[in-house]
Structure 1
Amino acid sequence: MAGVDLPLVNQPAVNPEWVDDVLLGGPGDAVCVRLDRPVDRDGLRGEVAERAAQLRAAGLVAGGTVALRLPPSLAYIGFLFAAWRIGAQVSLLDHRLTQHEVDGALDRVAAQVVVEAAETTGHRLCGYAEVVARVSAREGGRPAGTPHALVQFSSGSTGASKVIARTAEDLVAELARYDRLPEFPKAGERVVLLSSIVHVLGLVGGLLNAMHTGAELVFPRRLTAEGILAAVAESDLPTTIIGVPFHAELLTALPDPAPLPQLRRMIVAGELVRPSVPTRFRERFGVPLGTMYGMTEVGMIATDLDGSRWPSVEPAHGLRLRVSAGELWIAMADSPYLGAQDPSRFVDGWLCTKDAAELDDLLTILGRLDSQVSIGGLKVDLTEVEQTISGLDSVREAVVLHDAGIQAYVSLTDGAEVEQVTAALTATLAPFKRPRRLVVLPALPRTATGKVVRSAAALVAAENARAATTERENQR
């Protein structure tokens, strides 16, 4: 795939001073991160310096580009802050992506240096890992073409996803929006972080905001319900849990959790919360389930941190929002997208969110209007999944829908077996993107004009008809 075609600039991608001023300041002996052990600010500064030396040895300089593909770890934090201190542009890649997806993403951003795990230790349900990192120069990489500090992918991968970039000034402005939220964790408090630090809530609302305010950031030893509550119980400091709605449902499933007087609230974002969950959470723990609305392009947009406005949220200070034809738009000075983009997404200084919404004093999000869905808080573009399946040699045609999970309806080429499809998807799609159900039909239903039918009801009817035919044949 071609890299992002942008003019080169002879300047750092990011002013490195903001890292020290906004993120790494504070008393040296203050604990800022807990993974397998507590790390104070002096320890973190030392980690950043060590990682910066590794990046420079690989050839990274101010204005350079680096792709970071590591699980949650002290190494991840160290490399991220080190690259920004050097003045480089950092692209974040989810460590759960397949190599096929990573290769495509690297082609798109043309990173000069890649940081990935050579070795990892830690249980798969652990909230962090011990990492031995490999830092390597990448042939064909290019320096930054814009002064952006951060590059992310809207669905965490390649294909139909968008390449989104944010400047250091934009990240600092989002942190200022968090500063205006009295309920959000500050110095003297703790954050138990469940959200991915590759994605916007975990990265900015979790990692960067904790470093900025002096709150203690905790990664649980186990991402089970019992493990999450054990992380809360390890200290008497006021504690907030940050995650996705799936985590809230996991915790509310516990029949009789022990009292946790230090728990102040849980905050979730990434997808709509089911109506019964906020009430159940308060009944179980005696504290609110706060909700947030945001997107990769902007960060935090609106909040309801005390649960008093649910299902609505209050727009953050300083953002301008409007609803046009039932769709939410957000004012932005510049387009957040790099490279080729859908011209309908950013028009005359307004970003189209593709979310259905209602807006008066409060904002109510009604659901997505495009093909992106959220699976456990991770963004998945159904078009990308469908294109990947359709591109397999064993598949003639495919339709991908989301109905209580990702569902794929396919017809196979002559002689192909469904096992070939599942094996190919294991190699090309991350686990959270793979269809929960893969239904094979002789042919997909079509309209009178020859277009493949995308109605879930019509596809289920075709599946049932196929099953009935198979049953009759077996009874002969």
Structure 2
Amino acid sequence: MDEILFAGRSTDICLRLPEPIDRATLHQLVTTAQGRLVAAGLRPGGAAALRLPPSLAYVVNLLATWRAGAQAILLDHRLTDHEVDRALVRLTPQVVVAPIRSGSGALRIFVDVTEGVTPYADSPAVSGHAVIQLSSGSTGPSKVIGRTAADLVAEVRRYTQIDGVALPGERIILLPSMVHVLGLVGGLLYGLHAGVELVPPQRLSGDAVLAAIAADATPATVLGVPFHIGLLASTRPAGPLPQLRRMTTGGELVPAAVARAFTDRYGVPLGNMYGMTEVGVIGTDLHGSHRPSIAPAPGIEVRESGGELWVSCPASPYVGLSDPTRWADGWLHTRDAGTVDPDTGLVTVRGRLDSQVSVGGMKVDLTEVETTVAELPGVAAAVVVWDDAITAYVQPDGPLSEETLDKLLAERLAGYKRPRVLRLLDQLPRTTTGKLVRSTDALRSAATS
């Protein structure tokens, strides 16, 4: 992938953190990191697990892993030790890269990290993919997602054909995490390939984002998720921002009122991008002219089957046991409800068909949360639903308090996955055949009776 990621002049600035990092400096850092990884036991055909927050260290070790001919396993730094240990046991990386020092506050988008490399297992990668990403529910057989180098290169090139993306010589104000597909491919990899400068703001605040936009005269595109739209829509700029060209958002659907508040305040398009970890970008509307619909990205075919959106995907993206209800015969079953206009080809996403919800731009699978709750000591049964927040209804098996339950969950689930509401019931409602009832109305009624 060197021809994709290391093209351009050596003096071109590719990252600003806020100190500028040019391509020559990045290349040197990657070469040094590659030496450390190899010395720790990383070999071609092996894997390195990166448990790093968004940082220069993350970028350098990711690129170094690929240059070493190895697979990169991306672990969100917010995962608990319990979640990480389960992933490592399954994926058996040769080395693990994690912070030994971090000198930044919680609201920093890019942090200052000194990393350490630890040998883990003397075994090849579990698959031939270039990158492994863990979607929510990653402990299940169909939640470990792999993408090949060819697939990543094809998606980066797909971005270059999308009308409205940042152009060479421009900037991307990068807000989403590069552990996940939007920040990884739409931000980091596309930016390195296209000669677009990546500028993470100093802090996660509306004022900091505006300051990053205003810091240079070159055109800027803000890349984020709906949470970031609300952040900017509630922040009043101190003066004109002629550099701001548009904001592009991925993740869940954007409420019309939020979109209007943003465009009214800034007077620039609010673009929409629809994608999945399994295939990357699926469709876009970067000019905001088709809202809430999107046009399929170049080379992507979308069809509607029984009210569900299917996306062309030649090979199963899942590592290990594959789920035919998620991928079959060259088609990814998105479990998103939607329609495809037969005349224009425009795709309208109606929402999730399955148990995935979005919390602050992060996908959470309620099935994973429910399984974790049900496996806790002292729990006889559990149902987890979305009721304005992640809500767990729990039937104890003996003495159990909400405080104890919350403490146990904090050891097993990342903060954004944990239930915000815990309700203990003597008996969970069940159907006549003994199945747990999942109706929120029935569960609320049982909790108050």
Q: TM-score, normalised by structure 1?
A: 0.91
What's 1:34 paired with?
16
CA contact (8 A) 1:160 1:383 kept: no
1:268-307 superposed matches below 5 A: 268-307=249-288
CA–CA distance in 2 between the matches of 1:154 and 1:82? 23
CA–CA distance in 2 between the matches of 1:429 and 1:159? 15
What letter corresponds to residue 130 of structure 1 in structure 2?
D
CA–CA distance in 1 between the matches of 2:76 and 2:138? 8
1:445-460 superposed matches below 5 A: 445-460=429-444
Pair 1:404 & 2:388 matched: yes
Pair 1:82 & 2:64 matched: yes
Alpha-carbon distance change, 448 to 257 in structure 1, aligned in 2, over 3 angstroms: farther
Query: 1:463 deviation in Å?
Result: 2.4
Query: 1:160 deviation in Å?
Result: 6.6
Pair 1:431 & 2:415 matched: yes
Match of 1:461 among 440, 445, 449: 445
What's 1:415 paired with?
399
Pair 1:142 & 2:126 matched: no
Q: Residues 378-402 of structure 1: CA distance to partner in whole angstroms, max 9, x if unpaired?
A: 1211111001011111222211111
CA–CA distance in 1 between the matches of 2:332 and 2:54? 31
CA–CA distance in 1 between the matches of 2:49 and 2:314? 26
Name stretches of at least 5 consecutive residues in structure 1 with no aligned partner: 1-17, 466-476
Alpha-carbon distance change, 157 to 99 in structure 1, aligned in 2, over 3 angstroms: farther
CA–CA distance in 1 between the matches of 2:85 and 2:297? 37
Range with bigger deviation, 254-263 or 50-59:
254-263
What's 1:184 paired with?
165
What's 2:55 paired with?
73
Alpha-carbon distance change, 182 to 71 in structure 1, aligned in 2, over 3 angstroms: same
Pair 1:118 & 2:100 matched: yes
SS in 2 for 1:276: helix
Pair 1:129 & 2:111 matched: yes
What's 1:329 paired with?
310
Q: Residues 246-276 of structure 1: CA distance to partner in whole angstroms, max 9, x if unpaired?
A: 1101211225653211111111111111121
CA–CA distance in 1 between the matches of 2:239 and 2:290? 28
CA–CA distance in 2 between the matches of 1:415 and 1:48? 54
CA–CA distance in 1 between the matches of 2:16 and 2:361? 23
Range with bigger deviation, 92-101 or 443-452:
443-452
Range with bigger deviation, 203-212 or 267-276:
267-276
CA contact (8 A) 2:132 2:147 kept: yes
Match of 1:234 among 215, 219, 232: 215
SS in 1 for 2:256: coil
CA contact (8 A) 2:142 2:322 kept: no
Q: Residues 59-96 of structure 1: CA distance to partner in whole angstroms, max 9, x if unpaired?
A: 11211111111011111111000110111011100001
What's 2:322 paired with?
341
1:2-401 superposed matches below 5 A: 18-19=1-2, 21-139=3-121, 141-155=122-136, 157-159=138-140, 162-255=143-236, 258-360=239-341, 361-401=345-385
Q: Residues 388-425 of structure 1: CA distance to partner in whole angstroms, max 9, x if unpaired?
A: 01111122221111122211111222222221101101
SS in 1 for 2:228: helix
CA contact (8 A) 1:323 1:358 kept: yes
SS in 1 for 2:411: helix
Query: 1:157 deviation in Å?
Result: 4.3
CA–CA distance in 2 between the matches of 1:257 and 1:89? 45
CA–CA distance in 2 between the matches of 1:156 and 1:244? 21
SS in 1 for 2:304: strand
CA contact (8 A) 1:156 1:379 kept: no
CA–CA distance in 2 between the matches of 1:161 and 1:440? 31
Aligned residue-pair number: 446
Range with bigger deviation, 381-390 or 178-187:
178-187
Query: 1:304 deviation in Å?
Result: 0.5
CA–CA distance in 2 between the matches of 1:87 and 1:459? 51
Range with bigger deviation, 97-106 or 255-264:
255-264
CA contact (8 A) 1:161 1:381 kept: no
Q: TM-score, normalised by structure 2?
A: 0.97
CA contact (8 A) 1:24 1:211 kept: yes
What letter corresponds to residue 322 of structure 1 in structure 2?
R
What's 1:441 paired with?
425
Alpha-carbon distance change, 144 to 78 in structure 1, aligned in 2, over 3 angstroms: same
CA contact (8 A) 1:93 1:157 kept: no
CA contact (8 A) 2:91 2:125 kept: no
Query: 1:443 deviation in Å?
Result: 1.8
Query: 1:156 deviation in Å?
Result: 7.1
Query: 1:457 deviation in Å?
Result: 0.9
CA–CA distance in 2 between the matches of 1:256 and 1:81? 36
CA–CA distance in 1 between the matches of 2:427 and 2:125? 47
SS in 1 for 2:251: coil
Range with bigger deviation, 293-302 or 174-183:
174-183
Query: 1:315 deviation in Å?
Result: 0.4
Q: Residues 100-147 of structure 1: CA distance to partner in whole angstroms, max 9, x if unpaired?
A: 0000111121111111111111111011111111101103x5212433
CA–CA distance in 2 between the matches of 1:457 and 1:265? 41
Superposition RMSD in Å: 1.4
SS in 2 for 1:52: helix
Name stretches of at least 5 consecutive residues in structure 2 with no aligned partner: none
What letter corresponds to residue 62 of structure 2 in structure 1?
L
Q: Residues 339-373 of structure 1: CA distance to partner in whole angstroms, max 9, x if unpaired?
A: 01222211112111111110022000011111122
SS in 2 for 1:401: strand
Percent of aligned pairs sharing the same letter = 52
SS in 2 for 1:432: helix
SS in 2 for 1:399: strand
Range with bigger deviation, 152-161 or 297-306:
152-161
CA contact (8 A) 2:294 2:347 kept: yes
Moved over 6 A (4+): none
Range with bigger deviation, 412-421 or 453-462:
412-421
